[in-house]
Amino acid sequence: MEEGDRIEESSSVRLTGRTYSGGGVGESRWVDGSEVDSESPPWSLLDENEGKEGYGSLRRRLVKKPKRVDSFDVEAMEIAGAHGHRSKDLSTWRTLALAFQTLGVVYGDMGTSPLYVFSDVFSKVNIESDVDILGALSLVMYTIALVPLAKYVFVVLQANDNGEGGTFALYSLICRYAKVNMLPNRQPADEQISSFKLKLPTPELERALNIKETLERRSSLKTLLLLLVLMGTSMVIGDGILTPAISVMSAVSGLQGEIKGFNTTAVVVVSIVILVALFSIQRFGTSKVGVMFAPALALWFFSLGSIGIYNLVKHDITVIKAFNPAYIYFFFKKNSRDAWSALGGCVLCITGAEAMFADLGHFSVRAIQIAFTFVVFPCLLLAYMGQAAYLMRYPDSSGRIFYDSVPVFVVATIAAMIASQAMISATFSCVKQSMALGCFPRLKIIHTSRRLMGQIYIPVINWFLMIMCVVVVSIFRSTTDIANAYGIAEVGVMMVTTSLVTLVMLLIWQTNLFMALCFPLVFGSIELIYFSAVLSKVLEGGWLPLVFAAFFLTVMYIWNYGSVLKYQSEVREKISMDFMHELGSTLGTVRVPGIGLLYNELVHGIPSIFGQFLLSLPAIHSTIVFVCIKYVPVPVVPQEERFLFRRVCPKDYHMFRCIARYGYKDIRKEDHHAFEQLLVQSLENFLRKEAQDLALESTLTEMDIDSVSVSSRDYGTQGTYGNEELKIPLMHDRRLEEAGTSTSEEASVALPSSVMSSDEDPSLEYELSALREAIDSGFTYFLAHGDVRAKKNSVFLKKLVINYFYAFLRRNCRAGAANMSVPHMNILQVGMTYMV
């Protein structure tokens, strides 16, 4: 256990002791004015000291106290399908149906690779003998077998985050097991979210703990890990630019041999028209055309396989000799440097392999495995073998090998557009995940489906991708140069995934060390060889993804760096509780009816911006709620576990903190009326539960010590209710209702008959009536218009990054008020400068 954790726990024990020692108002802060955001002290700590003077009483009272009131049972904005993940224990027919659907969403990119692989390979190597064709075919076959099949299907897909895949899913998984997130807003209560699932098996535990401690101790390793994730994400966005360009252009180039006078300029113009049309329909959402994706790609794979068999039988069936990997050696021996250069074209056969992992959230592991193993893999092998057989008879047709051997231009064009659509959608999802984890400027997100929360549309990213695609097609004018750029982006993402999955193996799976090291040694070596080949094409188009990656990496890191500094500044400058007690319940001003929702990023304490509102406004609302929208490193937070609620300051202050927790796949509805209604209902539930707990506590303190001890033991046998309630959010009520057990019955069992019911508590009735009066007066949203500036004694580079680059991003990204559909009449903004 870390030193910081021990300090936090000891502080919690001291404050708890003060609370129950019968101190004054200023000391009664466990329920009334809690500023201790750590959970209750570990029971082992209490057990060890149970025999000592004072600790037995403390433990007895802690066990008898039903639960700490810091959250409530409430649905946070009804979203279909957002309640956890769909069960992955699917029936056989459902799994097969999902496997069929993956053809249209996941495998479009890889399925269209036969359009350009051999034409690019044989632009580097001249066909002079059968060894050239067989060697290239063997290289393609074993590349597909090793990387997509062995690596992704059987290993990487297992490293999913509660069913979600992708670079950020791996990062969030690592963040849960080790505190490597750069934003220090993690709370112990977050670990009680059902989708957190921290399971550390015993084998190799010591090594995993050593890795965890090393990652948490060294900030340089945290930064390196973040940069690695951001680099992978930047490469994925680069794929979103290059995939539509190369797919559409490759499909249109098939017209060159069919229509006279259809030259390169015509290919470029038609490609641009198709690209503009493709990006223009994105605003309608993929769900509108999704029904035709899988059938079209199924037809495509059927065409590839059947025509591959036809070419194989008709032209030269002896190409099956390529199953002998010795032809790879002969290929390199004969062509040496040209063969190494041809690897840049060969790597295109596995483009889209990362999509199997990135799009995992929409399907199941089993469905993706079945589709690739029994449909995609054999059809691709047959397609490449058929092309190779055709080349054995017509070696001069390598430039147009696909269209000469597969006369299906219309199907090819449709398949290419679908492949582009899949990558565009993956880019939207990737950007949304990075925004949720604080690594991308806030942008407008439109949800295009009421049923599937993963289907989103981001206008700014969409038009940026379209402009970049048009520029790429206009400048390069050939698929060969685009292919050089495409290879770097694809292999770069794969190398990042290999690194992160290796860390998952060591830290989380705790795999045998030899097996864990074999993974990066085998697959990392293959990817490094390919990367060295495509990197040699930097001057021939390979510079493009490096520029894209550098641009997005810079933007994402600057945003994360500035956000972390801003958060740390808010933590340093938060208002002390002593100062709040000195102000008194009037807060040094006039309290008028109404509810003020002050949005901030703090999960602890009172934000300094609240002081600015007190200074700027002639009066303040009778009820203040500090609302913190926080993203936790899980895909989805179940609706009933969405909120944490806690009182700030003594009762007569009427101040509360509400923490709304979202996963990186969650949707935030923007209807402020629904949010206000939920918040009010939740606040009332919180007040009633608090009154019930205080009544129980006051009753227990008056009871005989011996009888309390007996009751404590009896109480603990009833499902360890006392312990659970101190350690988990207050979600017990709804779960009891769902099980057919009413909350009132549970309360009647748990509470002595002498405890006053909530309805008879005059202080509760007074507070509820005051709350209803505040509701009738309306809601006001307090928002901070913050300006972040570097301190005067900062180094020049920090001033440049914060004062200019980060400030530019903050000015031009989506403001906090824009994220909520709140009438401007209900918003109050105060400017504040954060010196970081």
Q: How far apart are CA 157 and CA 587, in angstroms?
A: 55
Mean pLDDT of 653-670: 78
Q: Are residues 299 and 425 in the same domain?
A: yes
Strands (E), 425-494: 446-447, 456-457
Mean pLDDT of 365-376: 90
- Is the pLDDT assigned to residue 71 strictly greater than 60? no
713: helix, strand or coil: helix
Domain that holds residue 153: 92-186+206-551
Q: Which residues touch 753 (CB under 8 Å, ≥6 apart)?
A: none
Q: How far apart are CA 300 and CA 251, in angstroms?
A: 13
What is residue 86's DSSP assignment? P
First CA to last CA distance, the chain: 30
Q: Are residues 653 and 527 in the same domain?
A: no
Residue 256: Cβ within 10 Å count: 17
Q: How far apart are CA 216 and CA 554, in angstroms?
A: 24
**What is the chain's Cα-based Rg?**
31
720 backbone φψ class: left, alpha, beta (φ>0; ψ -120 to 50): left
pLDDT band at 7 (very low <50, low <70, confident <90, very high): very low
Q: Are residues 353 and 240 in the same domain?
A: yes
Residue 267 lies in a domain: yes
Instruction: Give the rounded distance of the alpha carbon of 116 from its chain centre.
Output: 33
pLDDT band at 699 (very low <50, low <70, confident <90, very high): confident
Q: How far apart are CA 744 and CA 218, in angstroms?
A: 50
Q: How far apart are CA 364 and CA 98, in angstroms?
A: 8
Of 193-197, 302-306, 621-625, the poorest mean pLDDT is in 193-197
Q: Token pair of 671, please?
A: 């209807």
Q: How far apart are CA 215 and CA 233, in angstroms?
A: 21
CATH number of 251's domain: 1.20.1740
Q: Are residues 398 and 485 in the same domain?
A: yes
- Is the pLDDT assigned to residue 657 strictly greater than 70? yes
31 closest CA partner among 689, 720, 711, 752:
689
Q: How far apart are CA 136 and CA 145, in angstroms?
A: 14
Q: Which residues touch 334 (CB under 8 Å, ≥6 apart)?
A: 129, 131, 132, 135
Q: How far apart are CA 362 and CA 278, in angstroms?
A: 22
Residue 703 lies in a domain: no
Q: How far apart are CA 84 and CA 634, in angstroms?
A: 10
Q: Token pair of 515, please?
A: 């097996």
Asked if residues 473 and 250 have their Cβ atoms less than 8 Å apart, the reply is no
Cα 97–Cα 103–Cα 104 angle in degrees, nearest 5: 105
Asked if residues 638 and 195 have their Cβ atoms less than 8 Å apart, the reply is yes
Q: Are residues 446 and 380 in the same domain?
A: yes
Q: How far apart are CA 836 and CA 825, in angstroms?
A: 32
Strands (E), 6-92: none
- Is the pLDDT assigned to residue 385 strictly greater than 80? yes
pLDDT of residue 83: 36
Express each pLDDT in 256-312 by its tens digit: 766 777 788 888 998 899 889 888 877 776 555 555 677 888 888 988 899 899 989
Asked if residues 208 and 200 have their Cβ atoms less than 8 Å apart, the reply is yes
Residue 663 lies in a domain: yes
Mean pLDDT of 542-567: 89
699 closest CA partner among 769, 756, 747:
756
Q: Are residues 156 and 284 in the same domain?
A: yes
pLDDT of residue 821: 60
Instruction: Give the rounded distance of the alpha carbon of 393 from its chain centre.
Output: 50
Of 108-122, 299-313, 527-541, 715-729, the poorest mean pLDDT is in 715-729
Q: How far apart are CA 251 and CA 416, in angstroms?
A: 7
- Is the pLDDT assigned to residue 190 strictly greater than 60? no
SS (H, E, C) 351-400: CCHHHHHHCHHHCCHHHHHHHHHHHHHHHHHHHHHHHHHHHHHCHHHHHH
Q: How far apart are CA 530 and CA 514, in angstroms?
A: 24
pLDDT band at 161 (very low <50, low <70, confident <90, very high): confident
Express each pLDDT in 118-147 by its tens digit: 888 888 888 888 899 999 999 999 999 999
Q: Are residues 645 and 530 in the same domain?
A: no
Of residues 411 and 606, the one with the higher pLDDT is 606
- Is the pLDDT assigned to residue 730 strictly greater than 80? no
Residue 142 lies in a domain: yes
Residue 53 lies in a domain: no
514 backbone φψ class: left, alpha, beta (φ>0; ψ -120 to 50): alpha
Q: How far apart are CA 117 and CA 545, in angstroms?
A: 19
Task: Fill in the amino acid letter for 326.
Answer: A
Residue 588 lies in a domain: yes
Q: Are residues 547 and 586 in the same domain?
A: no
Of 43-57, 250-264, 530-544, the poorest mean pLDDT is in 43-57
pLDDT band at 644 (very low <50, low <70, confident <90, very high): confident
pLDDT of residue 734: 39
551, 585, 615 — which closes off a domain? 551
Q: Which residue has the tokens 């750590």?
A: 38
Asked if residues 235 and 553 have their Cβ atoms less than 8 Å apart, the reply is no
- Is the pLDDT assigned to residue 707 strictly greater than 90? no
Instruction: Give the rounded distance of the alpha carbon of 372 from its chain centre.
Output: 25
Mean pLDDT of 481-500: 85
Mean pLDDT of 236-244: 85
Q: Are residues 525 and 583 in the same domain?
A: no
- Is the pLDDT assigned to residue 481 strictly greater than 80? no
Going by DSSP bridges, is the β-strand pair 619-631/456-457 parallel, antiparallel, or unpaired? unpaired
pLDDT of residue 330: 92
Residue 200 lies in a domain: no
The burial class, CB within 10 Å (0-12 / 13-18 / 19+), for 452 is middle
Domain count, the chain: 2
Q: Are residues 544 and 594 in the same domain?
A: no
What is residue 161's DSSP assignment? B
486, 516, 551 — which closes off a domain? 551
792: helix, strand or coil: coil
User: Percent of the chain, pLDDT > 70?
Assistant: 74
pLDDT of residue 106: 81
| pTM metric for this prediction | 0.74
**Among positive and negative, which fits the CA dihedral 817, 823, 824, 825?**
negative
Q: How far apart are CA 552 and CA 546, in angstroms?
A: 10
pLDDT band at 175 (very low <50, low <70, confident <90, very high): confident
Residue 477 lies in a domain: yes
Express each pLDDT in 593-604 by its tens digit: 888 888 888 888
pLDDT band at 743 (very low <50, low <70, confident <90, very high): very low
Asked if residues 365 and 157 have their Cβ atoms less than 8 Å apart, the reply is yes
Q: Are residues 224 and 136 in the same domain?
A: yes
Express each pLDDT in 756-802 by its tens digit: 444 456 777 888 888 888 888 888 888 877 788 898 888 999 999 99
Q: Which residues touch 785 (CB under 8 Å, ≥6 apart)?
A: 829, 830, 831, 832
Q: What's the Cα-to-Cα distance from 455 to each of 367, 426, 602, rounded to whole Å?
A: 19, 10, 30
H/E element holding 788? strand 779-789
The burial class, CB within 10 Å (0-12 / 13-18 / 19+), for 651 is buried
Most confident of 2-16, 293-307, 489-503, 665-679: 489-503
pLDDT of residue 39: 32
- Is the pLDDT assigned to residue 754 strictly greater than 50? no
pLDDT of residue 753: 39
Q: Are residues 402 and 310 in the same domain?
A: yes
551, 582, 606 — which closes off a domain? 551
